[in-house]
Amino acid sequence: MRHISTTCPYCGVGCGVRATLADGQLTAVAGDADHPANYGRLCVKGSALHETLGEQGRLMRPRVDGREVAWATALDAVAERLAATRREHGKEAVAAYLSGQLLTEDYYVANKLFKGFIGTPHLDTNSRLCMASAVAAHRRAFGADAVPCSYEDLEEAELVVLVGSNLAWNHPVLYQRLKVAKTRNPLMRVVVIDPRVTDSCEIADLYLGLRPGSDARLFNGLLAWMADRGRLDALYLARHTRGLDAALAAAREDDVSLAAVAADCDLDPERLETFYYWFASQLHVVTPFSQGINQSSSGTDKGNAIINCHLAGGKLGLPGAGPFSITGQPNAMGGREVGGLANQLAAHMDYDSPGAIDRVTRFWSTPSLTPSLPEAPGHKAVDLFEAIERGEIHALWIMATNPAVSLPRADRVRAALEQCPLVIVSECVADTDLLAYADIVLPASSWSEKDGTVTNSERRISRQRGLLPPPGEARHDWWIICEVARRLGYGEAFAYAHPAEIFDEHARLSGFENLPGTPGERLFDISGLAWLDRAAYDALAPIQWPVTAAAPRGTARLFEEGRFATPDGLARLVPVRPRGPEQALCAARPLRLNTGRIRDQWHTMTRTARSPRLMNHRPEPFIEVAPADAAAWGVSDQQLARLRGAGGDYVGRVRLAKGQRRGEVFVPMHWNDRFSGAALAGRLLAAHLDPLSGQPEAKQGAVALAPLAIAWEATLLVAPDLAGEADWREEAAYWARIPLAHCQRWQLAGTPESADRDWLAWVTRHLPAATLWLEDPSGGRLRAAGIEAGRLRWWLMVGPPGELPGLAWLDERFAEAARDEALDGARRRRLLAGGDAGAADSGPVVCSCHQVGRSTIVTAIRDGDASIEALGARLACGTQCGSCVPELKALIEESSAA
Amino acid sequence: MPPHSTQAPQDPLVIVGNGMASHRLLEALLRQPARPARITVIGEEPTPAYNRILLSPLLAGELERDTLTLRSAEWYAEQGIELILGERVTEIDRQAQRLTTDAGRHLAYGRLVLATGSRPALPSLPGIRLAGVHAFRDLNDAATLSDCASRGGSAVVIGGGLLGLEAAEGLRKRGMAVTLLQRAEHLMNRQLDATAAGLLEQELVGRGLEVITGARLAALEDDGQGRVAAVCLEGGRRLPTDCVVVAIGIAPNVEPGRAAGLAVDRAIRVDGYLTTSDPAIFALGECCQFEQHTYGLVEPIWRQVEVLAAHLAGEAVGGYAERPSATRLKVSGVSLYAFGPTEPGEEHEVLAYHDPDQGDYRRLLLREGPLEGAVLYGDTAPGPWYFAQALAGRDLTPCRPALLLGAADADALLDASLDASLDASPKPEDSPTQTRPEKEAA
Residues of chain B whose beta carbon is less than 8 angstroms from a beta carbon of chain A are 349-358, 360, 362, 379, 400-406, 408-409, 423, 442
Distance from CA of A884 to the nearest CA of B (A): 25
Query: What are the C-alpha distances in Å from B30 to residues B34, B35, B42, B83, B300?
Result: 8, 6, 17, 15, 20
Kindly report, residue by residue over B298-316, the tens digit of the pLDDT.
Answer: 888 999 999 999 999 988 8
Question: Binning pLDDT at 50, 70 and 90, where does residue A825 land?
Answer: confident
Residues of chain A positioned with their CB less than 8 A from the CB of B354: 772-774
Pair (B194, B285) in one structural domain: no
What are the start-end ranges of the E strands in A359-459?
Answer: 395-399, 422-427, 440-443, 452-455
Per the structure, the count of domains in chain A is 6
Q: Are A160 and A191 spatial neighbours (Cβ–Cβ below 8 Å)?
A: yes
Residues of chain B positioned with their CB less than 8 A from the CB of A781: 400-401
Kindly report, residue by residue over A584-604, the tens digit of the pLDDT.
Answer: 999 999 999 999 888 788 777
Pair (A157, A286) in one structural domain: yes
Pair (B61, B78) in one structural domain: yes
Per the structure, the count of domains in chain B is 3
Average pLDDT over residues A308-326: 96
Kindly report, residue by residue over B327-367, the tens digit of the pLDDT.
Answer: 877 666 688 899 988 889 999 999 999 999 888 999 999 99
| Closest by Cβ to A833, choosing from B351, B352, B405 | B405
pLDDT recorded at residue B427: 41
| Closest by Cβ to A772, choosing from B350, B355, B406 | B355
Residues of chain B positioned with their CB less than 8 A from the CB of A832: 353, 404-405
pLDDT above 60 (res A563): yes
Question: Binning pLDDT at 50, 70 and 90, where does residue B5 land?
Answer: very low
| Closest by Cβ to A837, choosing from B400, B401, B406 | B406
Pair (A790, A807) in one structural domain: yes
Pair (B174, B234) in one structural domain: yes
Residues of chain B positioned with their CB less than 8 A from the CB of A771: 355-357
pLDDT recorded at residue A51: 83
Pair (A319, A274) in one structural domain: yes
pLDDT above 60 (res B156): yes
Residues of chain B positioned with their CB less than 8 A from the CB of A791: none
Distance from CA of A854 to the nearest CA of B (A): 15
- B225 lies in some domain: yes
Chosen domain end from B261, B284, B312 = B312
Chosen domain end from A707, A733, A767 = A707
Mutate to test the interface with B, among A776, A795, A803 (most CBs of B within 10 A): A776
| Closest by Cβ to B401, choosing from A773, A781, A830 | A781
| Closest by Cβ to A837, choosing from B351, B403, B408 | B408
Pair (A451, A478) in one structural domain: yes
- B324 lies in some domain: no
| Closest by Cβ to B353, choosing from A774, A779, A898 | A774
Q: Are A692 and A415 spatial neighbours (Cβ–Cβ below 8 Å)?
A: no
Q: Which residue of B has its CA nearest to A797?
A: B401
- A230 lies in some domain: yes
Pair (A341, A421) in one structural domain: yes
Which is more confidently placed, B151 or A311?
Answer: A311
- B319 lies in some domain: no
Question: Binning pLDDT at 50, 70 and 90, where does residue A841 land?
Answer: low
- B439 lies in some domain: no
pLDDT above 70 (res B421): no
CATH number of the domain that residue B79 is part of: 3.50.50.60
Residues of chain B positioned with their CB less than 8 A from the CB of A780: none
Pair (A652, A729) in one structural domain: no
pLDDT recorded at residue B422: 55
Pair (B261, B115) in one structural domain: yes
Q: Which residue of A has its CA nearest to B381?
A: A829
Distance from CA of A826 to the nearest CA of B (A): 10
Contact A799 B406 (CB under 8 A): no
Pair (B71, B211) in one structural domain: no
| Closest by Cβ to B352, choosing from A774, A828, A829 | A774
Contact B353 A803 (CB under 8 A): no
CATH number of the domain that residue A19 is part of: 3.30.200.210
| Closest by Cβ to A778, choosing from B349, B355, B403 | B349
Chain A, chain B: beta-carbon pairs less than 8 Å apart: 62
Kindly report, residue by residue over B248-262, the tens digit of the pLDDT.
Answer: 999 999 988 999 999
Residues of chain B positioned with their CB less than 8 A from the CB of A803: 401-402
Q: Show Cβ contacts of residue B331 under 8 Å, excluding neighbours closer than 6 positions.
A: B56, B165, B166, B169, B204
| Closest by Cβ to A803, choosing from B352, B355, B401 | B401
Structural domain span for residue A106: 63-129+331-497
Of A73-77, A102-106, A131-135, B177-181, which gets the smallest average pLDDT?
Answer: A131-135
CATH number of the domain that residue A680 is part of: 2.40.40.20
Question: Binning pLDDT at 50, 70 and 90, where does residue B244 land?
Answer: very high
pLDDT above 90 (res A481): yes
Pair (B381, B294) in one structural domain: no
- Tell me, yes or no, if A826 comes closer than 8 A to chain B by beta carbon: no
pLDDT above 60 (res A771): yes
Query: What are the C-alpha distances in Å from A593 to residues A140, A599, A660?
Result: 29, 19, 11
- B440 lies in some domain: no
Q: What's chain B look like in SS3?
A: CCCCCCCCCCCCEEEECCCHHHHHHHHHHHHCCCCCCCEEEEECCCCCCECHHHHHHHHCCCCCHHHHECCCHHHHHHCCEEEEECCCEEEEECCCCEEEECCCCEEECCEEEECCCEEECCCCCCCCCCECEEECCCHHHHHHHHHHHHCCCEEEEECCCHHHHHHHHHHHHCCCEEEEEECCCCCCCCCCCHHHHHHHHHHHHHHCCEEEECCCEEEEEECCCCEEEEEEECCCCEEECCEEEECCCEEECCCCCCCCCCCECCCEEECCCCECCCCCEEECHHHEEECCECCCCHHHHHHHHHHHHHHHCCCCCCCCCCCCCCEEEEECCEEEEEECCCCCCCCCEEEEEEECCCCEEEEEEECCCCEEEEEEECCCCCHHHHHHHHHHCCCCHHHHHHHHHCHHHHHHHHHHHHHHHHHHCCCHHHCCCCCCCCCCCC
Contact A862 B408 (CB under 8 A): no
Pair (A109, A44) in one structural domain: no
DSSP string spanning A719-736? -GGGTTT-GGGGG-SEEE
Contact A774 B354 (CB under 8 A): yes
Pair (A738, A666) in one structural domain: no
Structural domain span for residue B410: 331-430
Question: Binning pLDDT at 50, 70 and 90, where does residue B436 land?
Answer: very low
Pair (B138, B206) in one structural domain: yes
Distance from CA of A771 to the nearest CA of B (A): 6
The whole-angstrom separation of Cα B8 and Cα A566 is 119
Residues of chain B positioned with their CB less than 8 A from the CB of A833: 402, 405-406, 409
pLDDT recorded at residue B425: 47
pTM of the model: 0.80
- B196 lies in some domain: yes
Pair (B64, B153) in one structural domain: no
- A528 lies in some domain: no
Kindly report, residue by residue over A386-415, the tens digit of the pLDDT.
Answer: 999 999 999 999 999 888 877 778 888 899
Q: Average pLDDT, whole number, for chain A?
A: 91
Contact A832 B442 (CB under 8 A): no
pLDDT recorded at residue B65: 85
% pLDDT > 70, chain B: 91
Contact B404 A777 (CB under 8 A): no
Contact A772 B358 (CB under 8 A): yes
CATH number of the domain that residue A875 is part of: 1.10.10.1100
Contact A779 B401 (CB under 8 A): yes
Pair (A218, A258) in one structural domain: yes
Contact B357 A779 (CB under 8 A): no
Pair (A645, A746) in one structural domain: no
Pair (B65, B31) in one structural domain: yes
pLDDT recorded at residue B433: 37
Is residue A623 within a helix (H) or strand (E), and if so which, with residue range?
Answer: strand A622-625
Pair (A19, A148) in one structural domain: no
- B325 lies in some domain: no
- Tell me, yes or no, if A836 comes closer than 8 A to chain B by beta carbon: no
- A585 lies in some domain: no
Pair (A21, A113) in one structural domain: no
Kindly report, residue by residue over A733-754, the tens digit of the pLDDT.
Answer: 999 999 888 999 999 999 877 6
Distance from CA of B412 to the nearest CA of A (A): 9
| Closest by Cβ to A833, choosing from B350, B356, B409 | B409
Tell me the residue type at A272. L
Pair (B142, B241) in one structural domain: yes
- B435 lies in some domain: no
Chosen domain end from A829, A863, A885 = A829
Q: Average pLDDT, whole number, for chain B?
A: 87
- Tell me, yes or no, if A239 comes closer than 8 A to chain B by beta carbon: no
Pair (B77, B142) in one structural domain: no
Kindly report, residue by residue over A711-741, the tens digit of the pLDDT.
Answer: 899 999 999 888 777 888 888 899 999 988 8
Chosen domain end from A325, A352, A377 = A325
Kindly report, residue by residue over A486-512, the tens digit of the pLDDT.
Answer: 999 999 999 999 999 999 999 999 999
DSSP string spanning A688-708? -B-TTT--B--S-EEEEEEE-
- Tell me, yes or no, if A516 comes closer than 8 A to chain B by beta carbon: no
- A575 lies in some domain: no
pLDDT recorded at residue A330: 79
